[in-house]
Every structure is written in C-alpha cells, then in structure tokens.
Structure 1
Amino acid sequence: MSWNLKKTKYQALIIAKEKAKGFASLSKICDCFELKRDAYYKYKSRADKRKEVEQHIVAIVKRRRKSLPREGVRKLMKSLSQDFEKQQIKVGRDTLFNILREHKMLTLRKKYSARTTNSYHRFYKYNNTIKDLKVNRPNQVWVSDITYIRTVKGFCYLALITDMHSRKIVGYDLSDSLELKGCVRALNKAIYQAKDIKGLIHHSDRGIQYCSNVYTQILKRKKIGISMTEENHLL
C-alpha cells in the first residue's frame, strides 16, 4: 500500500473519530488534508455563488414555463436572453441544459403524427386487382394516397395521384382537413389533364375517402377500374 493511500485512510479515520464525538472542526479537516482555511472559504464562496445563480436561472425558467410549458432549451436560450442579461447572468446552452436536467425540468419532445386512413366504415371495399399486374405504360395504373405536412399552425393534407409507370404526379390537392373534397379535387384534376385513360385502374388504400360513393361514382362514370389494398397501406 502506498504512503499516500495510508495517509488518506489515516486522515479519514481521524475525521471519523472527531465526528463520533459529535463534531469535526474545520481546522481539523483542513489540517488532515493539508489544506488552508482560505482555500476552503474561497471554494465555498464560489460554490454558494454558483448555487445562487442556479436558483435565479430556475426561477426565471419557471416563470417562462407558466405560459409556455413545452418550450425546450434552445428556444429558452433565445426567449430568456434579455431576462438573463437583466440579472447579469451569463449562461450557455450546455449549462442551462445541465441545470434543467438536475432539477428535472427538461421537456420531452412529443412525436405527433397525423392519421390519414380510416378503413372502418360502411362503404364497400374493393379487391386488389393490380397485385400481379405488370405495369408497362403510362395511364395504366394510378395510385392515390394522402400524406400530411407539418406546419406551424398544425397539419395540412396533400392528396396525391401518381402514375405508377412514370412516377409522375398527375393530380394533387392541398387541404387543411381530411375531408373527401380534397381527394375529389385531386382526382378531377388528374382526369382533366389525362389524354387517354382507356383501361386505367385506380389503386388506393381502403380509406373512407376512396371508398365513398361520391369518389367511386366518378371512377365508374369514367370507366376507370377500382383496386384497393388488402391492408391500410399502398403496395
């Protein structure tokens, strides 16, 4: 065992004996570890100052969180910069992150998604007629789908009709809801722009928009075949 380790154990033993008596003086602790009292007080002063600054930061963040409870560290750095300057507090992003983590004030980012397909409805669901079909020309199969676009104010819904052979978007409509009208507008736009739709098959999922009477009647009037996936997603 090295001399330093023996010395450390001896010092710890002395402090333990002093504490057993009910006290361990600062002088005794400093002597055991060969420290100066001034060094201890300087360290304690810095620690107390850091603690005080930390409490100010927590108080400022708590006030902000009353109105914006989900605001993350990056946004807090920007929105609270003036508050920190008024309090003469210099804090970096990493420091703020560590303080909020220590006080269990970090916000967990929620993952939001928009559901675009509802296949639980009363309308007729068609079979998948393109499962083994070889697509070798444009306007042979159109694939319809709805995707969502995240915006500051919420979600927008993009109804798309894509030619399966050329991968070209032949019809689209952007709407702020999942109502049938957006899909109908996309379909009518695709039909209007198409030159030859003889033998065309329309393929989609089994969502209520595509199974609705309004949508399927347009396809039937134009003599467009109807195909749907067995599941709630496209092939």
Structure 2
Amino acid sequence: MTGELDDRARQVLVSRLLDRHGRSYAEEIGLDLTNETAWFGWLCAALLMSARISAEVATRAAQALIEAGLDTPGAMARSSWSARVALLDRAGYVRYDERTARMLGEMARRVLDLYGGTLGFLRETARHDPAEERRLLLEFKGIGPVGADIFLREMQLAWPEIYPFADARARKAAARLGLPDKVGDLAGLVPRAEFPRLLAALVRVDLAHETERLRLDLDS
C-alpha cells in the first residue's frame, strides 16, 4: 500500500474520510472554537488527549469537565484537586487521574496569572507568531509536543496564522492512504474551513487502524 493516489481517487477518498470520520474532536466534546471562551476547554482537552490513554476516554473526560462547569480558568482554579480527581475517575480517566487533576489546576492558575484568564492574551503576547504561540503553550505543565500539536491542529481556523498546520500523526496517516503528506499539498485537498476536519478524520482512522481497509475499499 504505497504511492500517492491520482486526483480522482484522492477526491473519492477525502470525501469518504469527511463523511465517515470528519467530526473534529472539539465538535465531539461540544466546543465551538470560533468562540474565545471555548479555547481554555480545548487546551484542557489537548492535555487529556496527549496522555497514553484512549481518545474515547480522553474526550469523555473533557466532556465531563465542561458538564461540571470547569471550562473556564476561574472555575477550574476554584475547584478542589479531589473534586477534579473524582470527576476524571467517573469519566474512566483513572490511570493518570491524580497527576492530570493537579496539572489542570496549575494550567488554570497560569492562564489567570499570566494571561488575564484568556488564551487570547497568550496569542497577543506571541504577536500572532505560530512558533512563539507553540513555545508559550509548551510552558504549560502537561502540554508537551503532542499536546501542542493537538491544540493547534483544530485551533488553526480561530488562529489563522497557524494555517496550514498538520501534525505528524495526521501526515503519516495521509501517506499510508496515498494522500500527500506535505502540509500545503494536504491542505489543498479541501477548503480551508474543512482542513481541521480532514486532519481529525485522518487521526481517527489511524487510531482505529483502518487505513489499510480504506485503501483496499478504494481499490475494489
């Protein structure tokens, strides 16, 4: 299963990816990233999703945070560590519950102390420079390169200076499917507004180990 597809096959495959798997993770969690108030919740989700735990459990835990009202830095900082641990446990996020609960609280306090309670000010501090935005994200305890990639992958419509951005996992999945793995070429397959959804679809297919089946379906 090597080599890139021709233009027609690409169009068919991309259409199938979007139709079957093209729901962004932010959408699944219930976050509208065009609204600045959702950005902190998405940063929390990126932290949860970057751990060695299933995406299903991580998204369920992120949803639980939102349902509990812990979707703002202020609410998260005011919550107790034990309450956050219990919430994560109920969502099935048990392997990293205590450590993650601590990091969520620390992250909220950092947003409050350094950025006035909004990630919009982090962006302004970085002067809309993608490299600097990434550097500042990496200063949050619990947000490593994978977490930063997850955050930026879906934030690129709200932060247009990031576009086009594709993380290594999405690009590797694209290559396995015969799609271009160069970011610009991959972004050129869909309208700008659809690119984060395409990346989410590629990640979902990769996590489900469905790349080979999709390619075989296309060849049949």
Instruction: Tell me which interval the TM-score lies in, with the shorter structure as reference length.
Output: under 0.3
TM-score, normalising length from structure 1?
Answer: 0.21
Q: Which has the higher strand share?
A: 1
Compare relative contact order (CA 8 Å, sep 6+) and give the higher one, 1 or 2: 2
Q: Which has the greater radius of gyration? A: 1
